[in-house]
């Protein structure tokens, strides 16, 4: 069902509520209550952090004013119950909702654009971008909160051009697509440098889902930077990985202008695996073990062992005897034997992916460096992939995934956080006034 049909269905529902004979009945949920569902966003006004807003993937927007003891639903009667992003003005009066979960699950319901409330959620207006379907982030310019940037990921199952970065300068009355990336590449995140708000960062994500498959990466993914409030953009390449990338999360912090982090899902082959053993029993010659041989060790190997390896990996017209003769005479080097393997199988190693990495820039996104020396492993990805930085300390960083990870030294080392909670984390919020108060949202 396309977005226009969904909006018409919503209008029909409102008509039925007004005219139906059951319209006067009041309903309330009586349970049973099992779990809260998937949290996708947590935020609060900068001037009033006790007023919390929590958005759900398929459960609307809720507010608490008593530290989470009680909650009030704010988004029950709108045309979309799925939410991807929330932003709130510094005084708490104006709320922005980007509808349509951006996590790209099969169960990620599409939305119907951007909604805005000027009265703290009492009433709402759909302000456009209906056909974006899934929205990953909304950021407000701290100098003028009528200026908003929207990261739209676009349709999940079909191609469309309503994806990328959109900007409004008049509170949502009009929109401009300021970063267009293609029919399968949208924007999953957008950030503003708090000290230089004309510096804007965008995370592009190429992804395409089918009922039977999901391609969650591509060469269209990457980080873009603008230094003129979105008029022009450059793809960042100095220090960041290129090639096959998946979801990317971005984070800046008011504690230090110029610092920006990127949480990258890197699908490029991992070269370190060239030197890892396959953990096959001793006495078996594998491709990685073969690559570690020099000419002297090769000539010492048992010919029966070599024969089994050659029959599996070498061209059929190239025998063990040919190889031994060539190596002995000096006409063949080990590099020549590696090429023979590639002739039969261009990718015999089947290297795993680099997987998830954290990168940091300290010069407004001009240059980047991986923050950690060791391999980060499989932690985030298309279903998580967010990174958040403390407003009090630019070196205090958390990443969402399974589990929640935290670094207190700028990403050099990481440790598990909140082990007592459900392991599937989707957002983190740092209290801007109290550095000891942190909220996390999970899928439990």
What confidence tens digit (pLDDT) does each residue in 342-393 have? 888 766 766 678 889 999 999 999 999 999 988 777 787 888 999 999 999 9
Confidence class for position 33, pLDDT limits 50, 70, 90? low
Q: Domain holding 409: CATH number? A: 2.130.10.10
- Angstrom distance (rounded) from CA 145 to CA 93: 11
Q: Is the peptide bond before 32 cis (omega within 30 degrees of 0)?
A: yes
In this structure, the answer to whether residues 58 and 145 fall within a common structural domain is: yes
Q: What is the arrangement of strands in the sheet containing 52-56, beginning at the earlier edge strand?
A: 39-43, 52-56, 60-64, 72-73
**251: pLDDT strictly greater than 90:** yes
Bigger pLDDT: 223 vs 382: 223
Residue-level pLDDT at 31? 65
Q: Is residue 14 part of a domain?
A: no
Percent of the chain with pLDDT over 70: 96
In this structure, the answer to whether residues 261 and 276 fall within a common structural domain is: no
In this structure, the answer to whether residues 193 and 95 fall within a common structural domain is: yes
In this structure, the answer to whether residues 394 and 300 fall within a common structural domain is: no
In this structure, the answer to whether residues 394 and 284 fall within a common structural domain is: no
Considering the entire predicted model, what is its pTM?
A: 0.84
In this structure, the answer to whether residues 255 and 214 fall within a common structural domain is: yes
- Angstrom distance (rounded) from CA 104 to CA 134: 9
Confidence class for position 21, pLDDT limits 50, 70, 90? confident
163 to 174, 177, 228: CA distances (angstroms): 16, 8, 21
CB atoms within 10 A of CB 392: 16
Q: Does the CA dihedral 212-213-214-219 come out positive or negative?
A: negative
**For 338, phi and psi rounded to 5 degrees?**
-60, -40
Q: Is residue 95 part of a domain?
A: yes
pLDDT digits (tens, 9 = 90+) for 117-144: 999 999 999 999 999 999 999 999 999 9
Q: Where are the alpha helices (DSSP H) in 345-429?
A: none
- Where does a domain end: 298, 318, 344? 344
Structural domain including 208 reads 3-8+35-269+351-442
Residue-level pLDDT at 338? 86
Q: Does the CA dihedral 166-169-173-176 come out positive or negative?
A: negative
Residue-level pLDDT at 32? 64
Cβ proximity of 177 and 154 under 8 Å: no
Cβ proximity of 133 and 122 under 8 Å: no
Q: Is residue 17 part of a domain?
A: no
Bigger pLDDT: 382 vs 274: 382
- Where does a domain end: 344, 361, 387? 344
Q: Is residue 30 part of a domain?
A: no
| Lowest mean per-residue pLDDT among 33-37, 89-93, 321-325, 401-405 | 33-37
193 to 43, 200, 226, 257, 259: CA distances (angstroms): 18, 6, 11, 6, 8
Tell me which residue has tokens 């073969």: 290
Pairing of strands 39-43, 52-56: antiparallel
Q: Cα 97 from chain centroid?
A: 19
Residue-level pLDDT at 430? 97
| Lowest mean per-residue pLDDT among 103-107, 277-281, 331-335, 348-352 | 348-352
Q: Is residue 21 part of a domain?
A: no
Percent of the chain with pLDDT over 90: 70
- Angstrom distance (rounded) from CA 394 to CA 264: 19
pLDDT digits (tens, 9 = 90+) for 174-216: 999 999 999 999 999 999 999 999 999 999 999 999 888 888 9
Q: Is residue 74 part of a domain?
A: yes
| Number of domains the chain contains | 2
Residue-level pLDDT at 105? 84
**278: pLDDT strictly greater than 70:** no
Bridge partners of 261? 251, 360
Q: Residue 237: CB partners within 8 Å, gap ≥ 6?
A: none
**262: pLDDT strictly greater than 90:** yes
Q: Residue 105: CB partners within 8 Å, gap ≥ 6?
A: 383
Bigger pLDDT: 271 vs 71: 71
Cβ proximity of 113 and 123 under 8 Å: no
In this structure, the answer to whether residues 168 and 213 fall within a common structural domain is: yes
- Angstrom distance (rounded) from CA 176 to CA 166: 5
Residue-level pLDDT at 28? 76
Q: Which two tokens stand for residue 405?
A: 């990870």
Residues 158-177, mean pLDDT to the nearest whole number: 97
In this structure, the answer to whether residues 289 and 434 fall within a common structural domain is: no
Confidence class for position 35, pLDDT limits 50, 70, 90? low
In this structure, the answer to whether residues 288 and 380 fall within a common structural domain is: no
Q: Which two tokens stand for residue 166?
A: 């959109």
- Angstrom distance (rounded) from CA 100 to CA 80: 7
**101: pLDDT strictly greater than 80:** yes
Residue-level pLDDT at 30? 73
């Amino acid at each position: 069902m396309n977005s226009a049909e969904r909006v018409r269905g919503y209008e029909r529902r409102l008509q039925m509520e007004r005219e139906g004979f059951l319209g006067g009945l009041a309903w309330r949920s009586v349970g049973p209550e099992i779990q809260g569902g998937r949290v996708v966003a947590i935020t609060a006004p900068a001037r009033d952090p006790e007023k919390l807003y929590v958005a759900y993937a398929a459960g609307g927007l809720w507010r608490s004013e008593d530290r989470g003891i009680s909650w009030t639903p704010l988004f029950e009667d709108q045309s979309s119950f799925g939410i991807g992003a929330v932003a709130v003005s510094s005084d708490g009066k104006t709320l922005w909702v980007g509808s349509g979960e951006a996590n790209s699950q099969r169960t990620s319901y599409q939305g119907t654009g951007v909604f805005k409330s000027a009265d703290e959620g009492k009433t709402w207006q759909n302000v456009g971008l209906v056909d974006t379907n899934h929205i990953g982030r909304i950021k407000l310019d701290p100098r003028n909160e009528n200026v908003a940037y929207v990261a739209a990921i676009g349709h999940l199952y079909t191609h469309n051009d309503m994806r990328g970065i959109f900007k409004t300068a008049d509170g949502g009355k009009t929109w401009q697509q300021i970063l267009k990336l293609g029919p399968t590449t949208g924007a999953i995140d957008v950030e503003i440098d708090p000290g230089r708000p004309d510096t804007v960062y965008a995370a592009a994500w190429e992804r395409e889902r089918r009922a039977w498959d999901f391609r969650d990466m591509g060469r269209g993914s990457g980080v873009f930077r603008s230094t003129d409030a979105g008029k022009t953009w450059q793809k960042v390449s100095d220090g960041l990985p290129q090639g096959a990338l998946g979801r990317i999360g971005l984070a800046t912090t008011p504690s230090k202008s110029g610092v920006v982090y990127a949480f990258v899902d890197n699908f490029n082959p991992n070269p370190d695996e060239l030197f890892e053993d396959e953990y096959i029993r001793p006495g078996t010659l594998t491709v990685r073990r073969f690559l570690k041989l020099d000419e002297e060790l090769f000539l010492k190997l048992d010919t029966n062992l070599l024969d089994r390896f050659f029959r599996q990996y070498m061209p059929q017209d190239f025998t063990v005897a040919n190889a031994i003769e060539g190596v002995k005479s000096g006409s063949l080097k080990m590099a020549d034997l590696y090429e023979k393997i590639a002739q039969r199988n261009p990718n015999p190693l089947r290297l795993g992916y680099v997987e998830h990495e954290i990168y940091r820039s300290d010069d407004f996104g001009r240059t980047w460096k991986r923050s950690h020396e060791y391999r980060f492993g499989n932690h985030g990805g298309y279903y998580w992939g967010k990174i958040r930085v403390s407003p009090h300390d630019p070196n205090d960083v958390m990443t969402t995934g399974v589990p929640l990870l935290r670094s207190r030294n700028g990403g050099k080392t990481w440790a598990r956080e909140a082990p007592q909670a459900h392991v599937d984390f989707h957002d983190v919020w740092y209290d801007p006034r109290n550095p000891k108060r942190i909220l996390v949202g999970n899928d439990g």
